[in-house]
Structure formats: structure tokens, C-alpha cells
Chain A
Amino acid sequence: MGVWDFIYNLFPRLYELTSAALGGLPTWASYLILGLIGIVLILFFVILVVMLFVWFERRLVGRFQIRLGPNRAGPAGLFQPIADVIKLLLKESFTPSKADRWVYFLAPVVAVVPAFLIFAVVPIQGGAGGILVDLNIGILYIVAISTISVVGVFMAGWGSSNKYSLVGAMRTVAQMVSYEVPLVLSIIGVVLIAGSLSMVTIVKEQAVPFILLQPLGFLIFFLGSLAEINRSPFDLLEAESEIVAGFHTEYPGIWFAIFFLAEYGHALAVSAIVTTLFLGGWMGPGLPPYLWFFIKVLLVFSVMLWLRSTLPRFRVDQLMGFAWKYLFPLALVNIFITGFEAILWPDFPWPIILVNILVMGVLIVLWSRFFPLEEGFRLERYGIGIAKGMALTFKHLFRRPITVQYPEQRLTPSRRFRGNELVLDLGRCTGCGACVRACPLNIIHLETRRGPEKGLIVERFDVEAGRCMYCGLCVESCPVGCLFMGRSYERATYRLEELTVGMDRLTAPDRKPSAYAHPEMEKEMPEQTLLAPPKGVH
């Protein structure tokens, strides 16, 4: 057996090992231990993947916004989430005085547990060891479990006895409940085709990925689940501009971290479910199935991020309207169509794909045209506007990020840059002291002595940069032109005495003079570095 083979059959191997180890125990004990192992596995799996996702999201969203995201902590900023977690853990943990303590502290738990439970039935690959338990009601189980988190949100909002939290909770729950309806209805289409609720069976049924057979169902399910997990454009619960941070306003450090975990866990779960239901799960050529699975999940997740970085937030009334007037009827129509097709062509020949895509387009246009959420709100002209926006953000992926890796990399300022430090050319200085006289703050201290032949030798030339207001009178008053403004812009120092700039630093070679009061110098100065490259340049 080669390495490849081992990688390919990783999970079955693990399964065999564990079952062999538990061979002797009575069934219920083995059940218990298996359950515990599963729990632990899922815990770690989820937490790890969530960290990965956090990093991934920040990076990808950065790219969508023509930045490169966190890239300092660890290779390519991979340790950023860890740093965040540490920060959160180190934060002070307090509870609001009026909080209903039990409810307050149980809320995050209730919110996070379902996120983990979902993964019990997600098949990361076929056959043994690919899934913890293959419930024959898998998808129903998922829907049911995911509703429990609603209660957690409620508890959080209520327990922290804060009006923003309460409003946020109400919004969230209203949103979740409303979007659950089209969500479940759109699942029914898939179940109709697959003829089973079990996740494994559903995946196995997907000779053709159901996204092709159920384009409309996919759309509804995807949007619905976006709303379920409160990701933008449905992230009203944390509309900072309206309600501070929604239901978890009052939650400090670790408790907030748990909510955070729950949220991303749900995101992961949703991606996994979408993969399973519509993208043919682990199936794929070449690579080991679980890799396929993860790739697809990541793909779905990145589509979420794509949407997030494109679309603005819904208004709360539009939100409800969108659920009830738009997704819900469409989901019903989808069920009818699928039912008819299931009766007429039980084996779903390929023309159905075209038919369904066509139907989807027609329905979307029709609904946008005839059932606008409000006057003039035609879903951005039948979704064309949305498509345009998506295209734009997608294009941003391939533009050079404008991030500047300060301090290693610095921007060259404009030639006209006035500068904010003094540069002294000692060679020319005659120690005439004009600058001293010119300084309105008397912060230039000059000491000279007679030189061997006529002329003065400058012994001390200090500037109290801390008090300097960079009026530039000294530069202008210098008769020999030995004083300049400098081109750099670091001003911070670590110690106070460094604020008194001595002669050695004034004359340091790394200090580049700016063209202030010396326009003739502009010519030999370097080009200014532009962040947004001119057209055509990448």
C-alpha cells in the first residue's frame, strides 16, 4: 500500500482502527465511547476549520476589497485567528448587573451546540468512516437541530437585559423563522429527486449534481441559509449602525468567542450541507473524496464571501418581504415543478436541466417584475444589477492589492511634499545663527567657536523637535541654504530625549531633504509611488 492509497482511504482506516479497539466492549459502552470520540473529533475538526475559515475569510474579503488581509502573524498570517482567540481569552469577562445569569451564561452554549451537532450527519466521504452516523432522516435532522440555535439567540437577547440585545434577538429570530420556511421547502425538491432524507443516499443519487437539476432550489436554499446564519446581506442582527452588535452586545471575551465560533460553525455547516445537497458531496475524479468535499465546501464558503463583499445590507422590512413574498412562493412553485417532473420523467433526463434553468430565469424575472418588495424595488432590475456587482468584485480579485507593507515598504511622497523634519548640510553652514534668530519658538540651540582662520565652526546644533511646529522660517532665513525640510514622515520616538534632535542626526545621510524653499531640487527627486496603478498597468 502506497502513501497515496493511505491518504485516499484515510477515514476508513481510522474507522477500522477504532472499531477494532472497541471490539470487546458491550454495545452500549462502545456506543458511548464512539459517541465521545465523535464529539471530540467534531469539536476539534470544527474549531480548526473555523479558524481556517476566519483566516480564509479575512484574506479573501481583503482580496475582494483590493487589499491583502492579515499576513503578519505566522506564514501568510495563518496564525491570525489564533492571535485573535488569545486576545479574546485574555479579555476581562464581566456580566451585566441586571442580567438573568442562568439564561445569560447558557445562551452561548445553546447557540453553539447545534452547530456542532449538525456535523454528525455530514458525510465527508462515502462508505465506512465517512460519516459519524448515517441517519435515515439526515437532512430533516439537520433542519431540526439548526432551529435550536434560535433559542440560544433568544436567550442571549433576553438574558443580557439590554434593549439593543433584545431588539437584535427579535430581529434575528424573526428572520430565522421566516427564512426557515423557504429553506425547508427548497430542500423538499432535492428530497423528491433523491427519494431519501439520508445525506449519504442524497449524495449517492447525484450522478448529476442537483444544482443542475434544482437551480432554483439551490438559489433559494443558499439565500435562505445565508439568512439563517445571519451572514450579509442578511446580517441585520449585527447592524452596528442600528443596534450596537445585536444579541451579543453584552457578551465579553470568551462568551463572545463562543458566539463567534457558533456563527462560523454554522457557516461551515451550511457550506457542507450545500455541498452535500447540491454539489454532489465528496464525489469527484482523481483526488480523495474528502479532499473533494473540502474543496467544494471552501468553494461554497468563498461564494458566501463574494456575496458578502458585494451586496449591501437588507432593510429589515425588505428582509421579511424578501422571505415571504419572494423566496416562499418561488419555493412552492419549485416543489410543484419538481413534483411534476418526478412524475413525468422519474429518471430526470438531461433536457430537464435546461428546462429547469430556463424556468428559474423566467420565475425570477416574473417575480421581480410583478411582486416587487416595494414600489420600484425590482430586486435591482431582475438581478442584473446584482450580477454586475458580483462581476465587479470578482474582477477586484485580480487587481494588485493596494496594501503597503509599512515599515519595510514605504511610499515616496510627492515632490511638492513639504516635509516635517529638519535636515542640516553642515558643510555649508557658517554658523551665522540666522535660523536661531528666525525661530519663533527659540528651540534651535547653536554653539560656535572661532575657527583657525576666519569663520566659525559649529559645535552644537540642537532642535527640540517635540516643540517644533515646522513653520520653516529657519529654512527660509538660512542665507547659505544649508537648512532643509526633510522628506520622511516618521515622528514617533520611544524616549523623550530623542525628541531633541542633535547635530549627528540632523546631518544623518538617510535624511532626504524635501524641495521646500528649494524648487530647483525637484528635478532630481524620485517619482511619487501611486497606490492605484494607472489604467492598463497591473
Chain B
Amino acid sequence: MGVAIAFWVLAAVSVASALAVVITRDIFRAALFLVLCFLTIAGIYITLGADFLAAVQVLIYIGAISVLIIFAIMLTREAQRGSPSNRLRLPALAIGVLLLATLVFAVLVTPWNVVVPLPEAEPTTAGIAARLFDLEGGFVLPFEIVSVLLLAAAIGAIVLARDR
């Protein structure tokens, strides 16, 4: 029951803020709404019992990505120009709605073999670690690759944004 309430509230807020992100013309406010959206999504993770992910979500998306985005907004003094929509608004809207319809349809027609009864959500940190670094069926190699990707991205970003 509590979870249900939490879900509905969070879902409503997240959808609203996401809409605000794409609709509002003031780019800085859009970024703030994005932060809100991320926050609510973290809450949704909690309702899903993914506590670790929730924390990481806040840490990465709010602490890093949103800050980066806001920085970009401030550095590219586009705020006064705002972020208007382009000529493709209506087709984009149509596509979005169609996509949504398709996805919802797919979700509803697909017979999900959900496990019943649902086990209690217990802390996932150790579990995730074990799953990541499990030697058979684990994700050690992808982990390493992602690390290298991050390094490359960092260096690339530095090189790109460096002032010549």
C-alpha cells in the first residue's frame, strides 16, 4: 500500500517533470526539472528495492550529469535564446505518441512470467558486486571495457573542450 502510494506519486512527478523538461522554453529551468526527474526516478528505484542503484542514480545523474549540463548551459550563453521547438514539433509529437502506443501495446500483450510470490527486497549492494565480479557468468570483461570507455571519454572530453 505504502509502496503503491509512493509509486503513484513518484511516477506522476517524474512524468510531469519530464514533460516540463521537453516543453519549457527556459533551458535552465528545463535542467532543474531534469534534476527533479532524476530524483524521482531514484525514488522509483527504491520502490523497486534497488537501493544501491538509487544512490548511484543520485550520485551520477544529479551530482555529475546534471551539473555538467548546467555548466554547459552557462558556458553556452544560450539561455536568453531559450530552447524553442523546431519545425518538426508535430511530426515528433505524432511519432512519440505512436511509439508510446506501440510500447504500451507490446507491454500489455506480452505474457510476462513474473515470479509469484515476490520475494522481499533485501539489500542489493553485495549481490550486485557478486554478480559483477562473479568469475563464471560475471561481467568482469564488460566492466573493464566500460572503465576504458570512461577513461577514453574523459580524455576525449578534455581534448574537445580545451581552449586553443
Contacts and interface: CB of A to CB of B under 8 A. Distances in A.
B52 A31 contact: no
Nearest to B64: A177
Contacts of B25: none
Given A136-B51, A136-B125, A151 B74 contact: no
B1 A28 contact: yes
A308 B67 CA distance: 28
Contacts of B51: 135-137
A41 interface: no
Interface string A361-403: 0000000000000000000000000000000000000000000
A197 B59 CA distance: 15
Interface stretch (B27-35, B98-106, B108-116, B131-139): B27-35
B70 A154 contact: yes
A135 B67 CA distance: 26
A141 B55 contact: yes
Given A31-B2, A135-B51, A147 B70 contact: no
Given A136-B51, A155-B32, A144 B59 contact: yes
B2 A147 contact: no
Contacts of B63: 143-144, 147-148, 150, 177, 180
Interface of B, helix, strand, loop or mixed by DSSP: helix
Interface string A147-177: 1101100110010000000100010011001
B52 A28 contact: no
A143 B32 CA distance: 20
B41 interface: no
B123 A136 contact: yes
B66 interface: yes
Interface residues of B, number: 25
B56 interface: yes
A103 B123 CA distance: 36
Grouping DSSP codes into helix (H, G, I), strand (E, B) and loop, the A interface class, with mixed when no group exceeds half, is helix
B44 interface: no
B48 to A, nearest CB: 15
A342 to B, nearest CB: 14
Interface string B69-96: 0110010000000000000000000000
B10 interface: no
Given A103-B32, A148-B58, A150-B67, A197 B2 contact: no
B37 interface: no
Contacts of A155: 32
Contacts of B66: 151
Contact of A173 (B1, B67, B125): B67
Contacts of A150: 63, 67
B53 to A, nearest CB: 10
A517 B62 CA distance: 76
Given A145-B58, A158-B28, A137 B67 contact: no
Given A150-B67, A173-B71, A28 B2 contact: yes
Contacts of A140: 52, 55-56, 59
B133 to A, nearest CB: 13
Contacts of A166: 74
20 contacts: A103-B32, A135-B51, A137-B51, A137-B123, A140-B59, A144-B55, A144-B63, A150-B67, A151-B66, A151-B67, A154-B67, A154-B70, A158-B74, A166-B74, A170-B74, A173-B67, A173-B70, A177-B63, A177-B64, A177-B67
